[in-house]
Amino acid sequence: MSVFYLDASAVVKLFRSEDETSLLREALEGASTWVSTELVSVEARCTARRLGVPGLVERAEGVLENIELLAYTQAIQTRAGAGFRPALRALDAIHAATALALADDLESVFVYDLELSEALTSEGLRTESPGRTN
């Protein structure tokens, strides 16, 4: 069973066409499960509304239906607050802590934020950013 964690930057690419979207979709095809923190639903909806593109909120909702959203538990809160190297913004720390909580089951973490990717890699997780050029 392939379990892939998606951070907010990856989720957004699934409902808003960006340069990396087609390669990301291709990379995710083999996954049996997509997972993320439950907070990604807020991030995705807020991003879709902020962009103001007709139908984008509905597309975001459709993507979210395909993601198993994991609860923001006390353990994740504690780990996120303990910090990472490099230091992360709050939501990125929550993504990192959530992914680490699933480390034994994850095949890969799909992330386009360079600092988050570096922090996850330093914690021993495999990260992917299909199509990222920088």
88-123 tens-digit pLDDT: 999 999 999 999 999 999 999 999 999 999 999 999
In a domain, 60, yes or no: yes
Total number of domains in the chain: 1
Domain-embedded: residue 108: yes
In a domain, 116, yes or no: yes
Three-state SS sequence of the chain:
CCEEEECHHHHHHHHCCCCCHHHHHHHHCCCCEEEEECCHHHHHHHHHHHHCCCCHHHHHHHHHCCEEEECCCHHHHHHHHHCCCCCCCHHHHHHHHHHHHCCCCCCEEECCCHHHHHHHHHCCCCEECCCCCC
Q: What CATH code is carried by the domain that includes residue 28?
A: 3.40.50.1010
Residue 41, pLDDT > 90, answer yes
* Listed residue (132, 107, 131, 129) closest to 34, CA to CA: 107
Quote the pLDDT of residue 54: 96
How far apart, in whole angstroms, are the C-alpha atoms of residue 62 and residue 67? 10
What is this structure's pTM? 0.95
Residue 59 and residue 44 in contact, taking contact as beta carbons nearer than 8 Å: no
In this predicted structure, the answer to whether residue 1 has a pLDDT above a threshold of 80 is no
Domain membership flag for residue 112: yes
User: Is 13 part of any domain?
Assistant: yes
What average pLDDT does this structure show over 19-46? 95
**Residue range of the domain that includes 108:** 3-128
Is residue 133 one of the residues assigned to a domain?
A: no
**Distance (Å, whole) CA 84 – CA 98:** 13
Kindly state whether residue 78 falls inside one of the protein's structural domains.
yes
Residue 38 lies in a domain: yes
